[in-house]
Structure 1
Amino acid sequence: MSGKAPQSSGFHQESRPGTATVTELEGILRNNRFPLSPIDEVWPNLYIGDMTVAEDRFRLWKLGITHVLNAAHKQLASSGCQDFYGTTVDYYGIAAQDLPNFDISAYFYSASEYIHQVVSVLGGKIFVHCAFGYSRSATLVLAYLMIYHHLSLLDAVNTVAQRRRIFPNRGFLKQLQALDIKLQQERKV
């Protein structure tokens, strides 16, 4: 799938010029009353969730998940690896720490490319998770929507927040804001 999702899918927000401030974004996220659930589809064939779902191979199979991106690879309480999923699910691990000073932006493009390759193939479904599906995984999904679907950071946050409670830490929001500025400048050229 390239370009923006069809408007009829309900997975698109209208753009607003400029870059949202971290304070604006935190306000939107803080006001989100969506209940935190183990898994939610936030874009067609793209799910965000927590570790409990990642460890439930039967549930992933029932959902038709073909790929798992673990943003908490080799972190405390994360047991994910390719051996765990065998040949039924492709696994990609990123050892991100949920700390404001962690450089998660180093993974924006590789994670986005992985997600895009999955959702671009008929039948491909990806589950992106971390410990709670709240900060690290959400950050990588927001970056994907910005890079491959040309959503502004504000639009990406609004799109995902309509389907899942998320709250990337302040450092991650600043890194996403820098990505937003960079992408907007590139698109002007």
Structure 2
Amino acid sequence: MTQLDISKITPRLFLGAAPTNLDEHKRELQLREAFELGIGLVVDCRKGTDDSALWQPHGVTYLNLGVEDAGDPLPQWYFSDGIEHIHEHLALHDSNVLVHCEFGAARSPALMLAVLLTDGVPLSEAQNQILTSRDQATSAYFADAAEWYDWYTS
């Protein structure tokens, strides 16, 4: 079975890489697998991209948060906007959420960490859950997510 580069973090939250740079046939096969997972919202963390044409014809809501992976701290609005959309989707829909960046290694794991923190998962447990569920994930922006969470809960 062809697999989209995707990892299950919780029963309704998935973390992955962008389904780009594939030929049309392989991309379609991989997208079908994402639909089989019940993905109803895709949060794309990459700047300067718009993959809405891949998702929206299949009834999947597409949100692009658009931040650079340049090593600079991730802005607070990135976490606030992402979490607002993710929590709203999970509350109003039965479908699941896929959060991705280019490789699913830095920006998207940081947003996923913030989601888990706002869901009440302790920091060390949330970090471990992400890093053990997705081999490609790094803690590159985890400090930004934790700092945002401290601001959010203060």
Interval containing the TM-score (normalised by the shorter chain): 0.7 to 0.9
Give unpaired runs (5+ residues) of structure 2.
Answer: none
Task: Indicate how the Cα distance of structure 1 residues 122 and 103 shifts in structure 2: closer, same or farther if over 3 A, else same.
Answer: closer
Say if 2:109 is the partner of 1:138: yes
Identity of aligned residues (%): 22
Say if 2:151 is the partner of 1:177: no
Q: Which has the higher strand share?
A: 2
The answer (yes or no) to whether the contact 1:153–1:180 under 8 Å persists in 2 is no
Q: Secondary structure at the match of 2:62?
A: strand
2:7 matched to which residue of 1?
Answer: 40
* Structure of larger gyration radius: 1
Output the CA distance in 2 between the equivalents of 1:44 and 1:70: 19
Give unpaired runs (5+ residues) of structure 1.
Answer: 1-36
Output the CA distance in 1 between the equivalents of 2:47 and 2:60: 16
Output the CA distance in 1 between the equivalents of 2:132 and 2:116: 14
Q: Secondary structure at the match of 2:111?
A: helix
TM-score in terms of structure 2 length: 0.78
The answer (yes or no) to whether the contact 1:73–1:80 under 8 Å persists in 2 is no
- Give deviations 1:21-53, integer Å, cap 9, x for gaps: xxxxxxxxxxxxxxxx81111012110011128
1:51 matched to which residue of 2?
Answer: 18
| Residues 1-189 of structure 1: pairs in structure 2 closer than 5 A | 38-52=5-19, 56-74=30-48, 78-81=49-52, 83-87=53-57, 88-147=59-118, 149-165=119-135, 166-169=137-140, 172-182=141-151, 186=154
Shift of 1:116: 1.2
TM-score in terms of structure 1 length: 0.65
RMSD (CA atoms): 2.4
Shift of 1:122: 4.9
Output the CA distance in 2 between the equivalents of 1:86 and 1:181: 34
Shift of 1:183: 5.2
Q: Secondary structure at the match of 1:132?
A: coil
The answer (yes or no) to whether the contact 1:46–1:119 under 8 Å persists in 2 is no
Q: Give the length in aligned residue pairs.
A: 142
Output the CA distance in 2 between the equivalents of 1:124 and 1:42: 15
Shift of 1:145: 1.1
